[in-house]
Structure 1
Amino acid sequence: MFVNQKKSRAREIIYGINAALTAIETAPEKITAAWVVKGREDDKRIRQIEQKLQAVGIRAQVAMRHSLDEKTDNGVHQGIVLEVIATPPKDERFLEELLEKLEDEKQLFLILDGVTDPRNLGAAMRSAWAAGADAVIVPKDKSASLTPVARKTADGAAEQVPFVAVTNLARTIEMMQEHNVEVVGMAGEATDTIFDYDFQKKTALVMGSEESGMRHLTREKCDAIVKIPMAKGVESLNVSVAAGIAMYEVVRQFLAKAK
């Protein structure tokens, strides 16, 4: 019996102007349905999205706001919701193939260990995209996944930056080190700062949760531990903010060494 694969696969929701535009531009074949809120059909940005959808063969349905609120669990959908074929996270095999592919190039990875808030994940994904990171890596257990909330916060980055979920983070770190990636953990009690540290051509930054930091085994596997210097009285930064600062220092050093 013939089965329509597009109809049989799991679906997920993407919402928000930028996330929707990125989905249409990068993976239009995965879009199965679209809705725009009633009363905003004349909005310039909504019209732009409708035109892009029509160009790929999708006609947006007009829906009441409460209907879109239900579809997004009261998320800030900005009047646009897409239903798409779910994209599962990448795995260890994908990561190893990526490392081999990038063997002779600069590499930047972001590892999030124990970050459970989907908004923090989404914001970190957005920073990773802006910094040109090659992938964001998380453990499968006790970690946020790419929920609709994470995708909305990522503002399109979730469709651009590979998201890798691994079974054993410590083993994954070892595998990355075997490919000459230096793994640098971030911790407030470290002695060296990110601005004093000499980041190498291939770097993976590890960020722990705001509450407890990196897990003990993850910390043990790191090649070095550094910190972001902060003013007296400031105990910590939001993990996505800290990730952005750290990644941009790595990028700054990459650019300085390339001159």
Structure 2
Amino acid sequence: MKLKFLRTLFVLSAVVFFYASCKKQGVPSAGNTTKDATDYKTLSSTIGTQFYKSITGQYGGADVNKGITSPYITHAGGNNRVLNSIPALCGTVIDTTYNTKTGTNPITDTIKTHFENLHFTFTCDAGQVNGYQVRDSLVNVANHSFFVFDTYAITQYYAVKALDQTYKLVSMDGSLSAFVETKNIEAPSTMSTTSVYYLAGLKVNFASGAADITTGTTSFKTTTKLYGPQTNYQEQVATYYGTIVYLGKHKAKVTFTPGASYLVDLITGVVTPA
């Protein structure tokens, strides 16, 4: 267990280092490190859906769909109470680390391991809870038949604030990073995508049950790495910059700097020309 925890800290440290080293104001100019043709259509789907999955807790951690409640309540098996009934939560800080594991036999099962460090603070206005700040780091590792490993590492640092009395329309500002990698030891091959997103003025409506980002912009930096027979066993690395403009109805326009733009369905990942 100690060794697993140290490995987790190493992965999280790498993600946090990437985030810290890339943090800049505005959208940088493009700077791909390879000249190979890029499938911008597929990449735009990846960039858009990874962001949406991150803020809606599909990798774990905070889920904007849950409203102004702590994600730890769900993990602990507690009941989410009506927000107006818990003014004592003003300023409450939840700081916890936990891990889970499912599956026992890697030959017949997919072994899934989840590690998370959560720092969550309720924020208030005039003595009434109206939002929260989250600083969350997590790693998911799925082991398939000894050889194939899927890794998801997410760091989130953002603020959510209610914009009306229903608490189902909120703003989001801050940043997050997402690292997704598939590694096949037997092949061998590796594919990974590392993205850093900067949230500016996002408005999220989850009255219908599924978070809908109705307005706002996210700038991003995405680095892809590919290694395997398709690259003649040479590591191929490329970096891309751009913006995501949210249009509502779970649609967003992903624009790369310079050039290509695509409309992405944030739930299905389906892409159409902008």
TM-score by length of 2: 0.26
Instruction: Considering fraction of residues, name the structure with more helix.
Output: 1
More RCO (CA 8 Å, sep 6+): 1
TM-score by length of 1: 0.27
Instruction: Considering fraction of residues, name the structure with more strand.
Output: 2
